[in-house]
Amino acid sequence: MSKNLILTALLTLLMATASIAQETVYQLSSHILDIKTGQPATGVKITLSRLDDNRSWQTIDERATDANGRVKEFLAKSPDTDNRGIYKLTYLVGPYFKAQAQDSFYPFIEVVFEIKDDSHYHVPITLSPYGYSTYRGN
């Protein structure tokens, strides 16, 4: 009986280790804080584009902010992936403000930045109907 218990524990440990090892790591994330309400901006669509060799923007991903106003899953990272380049995050904030019956100056916001190495990049914005601010977070 104890032999079966030990075998079950080892198998469980092996499965847990394998699932952790397969977890995808992402290099880019973003966050939107609505400073008018002091709350995260949920459900905002964010488009990620990359500047190609022809100086044209190519859309590579599109996601919506979660309940915490975050998108954590941009640019999957692996040993054979090089994500260096110039990117643009387009925050489609017009529908967000419209859903709140709030007039806004910005139908969308574009933030252009460069990934220069393999470290994590976090691009948050603080948002109001008539202004925004962005910075490189961590």
Global pTM reads: 0.82
SS3 state of residue 116: coil
Q: Which amino acid is at 25?
A: V
Q: Specify which residues 57 forms β-bridges with.
A: 51
What are the pLDDT digits (tens) for 54-84?
Answer: 999 999 999 999 999 999 999 999 888 999 9
Q: Which amino acid is at 109?
A: I
Nearest to 48 by CA among 80, 81, 83, 22: 83
What are the pLDDT digits (tens) for 5-25?
Answer: 565 655 565 565 544 556 889
What are the pLDDT digits (tens) for 81-104?
Answer: 999 999 999 999 999 999 999 999
